[in-house]
A and B are shown apart, each in its own frame.
Chain A
Amino acid sequence: MRKLLIILVLLLTPLAFAQDLYIANSANWQNIYSAGLYSALNGKDFKFLVSAKHTEILINEIPRDPIKITVIESDRVPYVKRYANRLASAGHNTDTILISEETGNLDLAKKLTQVDDYIIVNPVFGYDAISAAPLATKTNSYVLFATPDNINELTAFFDETPPANITIIGDIEETVKKELSKYNPRTIDEGNRFSNNIALAEEFREKFKSEQAILTNGEFLENDVFFAGKTNQPIIFIGKDRIPTASENYIKTSPYKVFVVLGNDLFGSAQLVKEQSGKPVLIKFAKGTTNAGGYRSVQGLDIYPTPQLELLLSLEAIFYNADKKRVDMIIRNEKTARTFATSSIIIQDQTTPIVTLGDNNAERLSGFEVRTLSYPEDLSEYTTKNLTAQLIVSYGESQDTIEKALTATVPLPIVSEQNLCDLDITRATYNEKTQRFQISVTTNKPCYTRVTLTDLTVNDTQINAQSEVTYVDGKQNVEIKQRMDSVDIADNPNLNVNARFGSEQKILIKEINKTFPFKTEMTISIPIIIGSLAITLLATLITLALWKRKSKQQH
């Protein structure tokens, strides 16, 4: 009888200390994301630390009754070392899963023995991972981050535990794509984060008949990211400043009944969704922890930022070219990401509108490109007035994902091309060794110029490669740094060269366009020359020696 009781106690003990809560203790978003998915797939509650200070705050949010807590802790960047010890001192039954900062995502995948479906995303940003989370947790799949650096470890894992299904979401590196092709993956890549997101949300909605969706901007982690799938909700991205057209159309036409917006920061967008869709919109904006009848402040939601696609345009200059009868606006892409922009400019006399100018199609700006946008309009009769330009430049990562806006009201100076320098482009070549274009230009007097190679195909994508503003007096080469491999060179039989120039560094009024056939510059390095000379000399000496020997033999 006693033995039976002991056995019963032993059997019941694990139940009494069932794993109740997982806590992520890492300052790495990929670790937090992986731990959140791991918890959701194990059916456990989940919390994550957002700062060192939070380590003590979180303890007050955990029930005081002892529970089983597993801390998923980064080996290199935890907010506090061995957080489990602190929780144990508060009376909880604790355990730690130590994960590597670099390989934590895969470390946890290996522990999920019940999972054999995987979703692959590129972890450069968090958008695709956040989009994929509801589908992953709902379909018992795990999201793996794949890069050229870890693809061998990933394929080794797959070779050891063959996956049932692999789905690739978004744009992943070519080498990763190639390595994964042997597993016959399905790919969802609609060209940008919003379109990928909509494709995933719609697939989820159709499959699970969702009536409610979560709206967020894909730039932070919140617990709903991990548990939305379990509660039958896909995630739809909305912008912070405005709702991209693609998302707006999807929200308006889809049969969702209710939307829940994550975070107070998106209040403005939530209002727009409400107005545009006419459907109920709730904003999850805060949390509050009670303390047995005491009073405590309500706090912001626990959120952790993920890497964001940074888009930022700035206005360089705007002026009226009286000779060409057009308004030129110079905008600068301040970030590396390719950005699409569309402009609307109201030309005013004081505050009285004269004309509204604008683009029919969005213009594409390469990373860090400075672009002059020209709008033909005869304002001759107003050149004596105090003209101003009220402009709105809307921009985003693609033509249908315009989500940001640059706005300004500025004076519109009148400029003339007369008495300015003249510039000609005489030659364009590419130096494969230095990976730079050399553009030869000549001027009749001192001049500033910025040279652009337009619509250059690099890695199958069209870009504009650009020089810095360069001071030229007479004849000079202007350099444009651009890496090109043999495929890129073959893809560009011609070079379209544009030079903007003028007497003022920031107002390059005039322009010239020329097309040249792609020519590579031959450069021979000194070691090659020395080597060649040495080989030639050696060959000559051998030939002479042989000739002498032959001559002797004949005599």
Chain B
Amino acid sequence: MKTRNITGLILIIISLSAIAYATSPDGAGVTIGTPQTKQTNTPGNVTAQGGNITQVNLSAEVTTLSWQGFYGQVAGNITLEDNSGDVLYSWAVSNVSGEVLASRNSTIDFTTVAGIETCTVDESLTGTGTDRTNNTFTNGTVSFEIAGVSITAACNTFTFINNATQTLRYQEIILNATGVTSIYVTKVNESTTSFDGTLQDYQMIVPDNQTTATTTYFFFVEID
């Protein structure tokens, strides 16, 4: 059967940046990443061959305006040092585990966090197109503990590793709290291959207002 598939692929590009806070000897090390962006795709070039029926798949990737990606590393040392900064002893904070949380709210009452199970949250930001929240996150069983609260069900997704879908790492869920519409949470996976093959501790996506406004997110890390 002669078919003609026009597939519009809208990929959520995890646009990347890193935590650019000053690294201090006894602070969490934060690495600045090279910002990355989706390259513009060249339209498909198909040469027709007489006598053949050619199946033409037209693919297009469009950078979404609705989601912003962040990744980075969480590392640190606890040091014993003198006044000139000479370190007498340093305990590396290895086996970093915990969660990175991103919210548009600067202050959050973490004692009231709960999983969001209706995945239409923040569609006032993402719009209701193909890349809306409900098409990005799916309600399901999860296993997170945030601020002592066990989260067993929430809208969740897995961001890509090496440009491919996967369901092993970088699971991301959505929570809310009293007075807070949404909190995006992912687990820290120390030095794990990320979306582009580099080793990172976390990567996550957050919604952005695609029309008129910039959106400021505040980032928290819970240390386990």
Contacts and interface: CB of A to CB of B under 8 A. Distances in A.
Interface string B37-72: 100000000000000000000000001111111101
B123 interface: no
Contact of A291 (B36, B107, B208): B208
Given A231-B107, A298-B72, A293 B218 contact: no
A317 interface: no
A164 to B, nearest CB: 28
A176 B210 CA distance: 55
B19 A285 contact: yes
A380 interface: no
A476 B208 CA distance: 78
Interface string A256-283: 0110100011111011101000011111
Interface centre among B65, B72, B110 (most CB of A within 10 A): B110
Nearest to A61: B216
Interface string A227-240: 11011110000001
A65 B212 contact: yes
B110 A408 contact: no
A14 interface: no
Given A241-B26, A290-B208, A298 B147 contact: no
A312 interface: yes
Nearest to A60: B214
Contacts of A230: 107
Interface string A448-487: 0000000000000000000000000000000000000000
Given A289-B215, A298-B70, A299-B20, A284 B220 contact: yes
Interface stretch (B10-18, B136-144, B164-172): B10-18
Interface centre among A63, A267, A290 (most CB of B within 10 A): A290
B32 interface: yes
B66 A268 contact: no
A288 interface: yes
Given A281-B222, A284-B220, A298 B17 contact: yes
Contacts, number: 201
A279 B32 CA distance: 30
Contacts of A295: 15-17, 35-37, 68-69
B94 to A, nearest CB: 12
Contacts of A61: 214, 216
A64 B78 contact: no
B208 A284 contact: no
Nearest to B215: A290
Interface stretch (B81-89, B153-161, B191-199): B81-89
Contacts of B63: 293
A265 B221 CA distance: 13
B106 A227 contact: yes
A211 interface: yes
A279 B17 contact: no
Nearest to B101: A282
Interface centre among B22, B67, B213 (most CB of A within 10 A): B213
A261 to B, nearest CB: 9
Given A223-B106, A268-B78, A287 B111 contact: no
A299 B211 CA distance: 23
A292 B21 contact: no
B9 interface: no
Contacts of A265: 22, 24, 26-27
Contact of A224 (B79, B81, B107): B107
A230 B178 CA distance: 13
A351 interface: no
Nearest to B88: A407
B76 A408 contact: no
A314 interface: yes
A240 B78 CA distance: 11
A314 B24 CA distance: 22
A274 B19 CA distance: 22
Contact of B76 (A267, A281, A406): A267
B83 A406 contact: yes
A233 B177 CA distance: 15
B28 interface: yes
Given A265-B24, A271-B93, A295-B15, A285 B219 contact: yes
B77 to A, nearest CB: 8
A493 interface: no
B111 A211 contact: yes
Nearest to A256: B111
A495 interface: no
Interface in A162-213: 211-212
B209 interface: yes
A314 B84 CA distance: 10
Contact of A298 (B20, B107, B109, B208): B20
B106 A297 contact: no
A526 B16 CA distance: 80
Contact of A283 (B28, B102, B146, B217): B28
B175 to A, nearest CB: 13
A233 B107 contact: yes
B32 A297 contact: yes
7 contacts: A264-B21, A271-B78, A283-B223, A285-B220, A293-B67, A294-B15, A298-B219
Given A264-B30, A281-B222, A287-B216, 5 more contacts: A258-B111, A288-B68, A288-B70, A291-B68, A407-B86
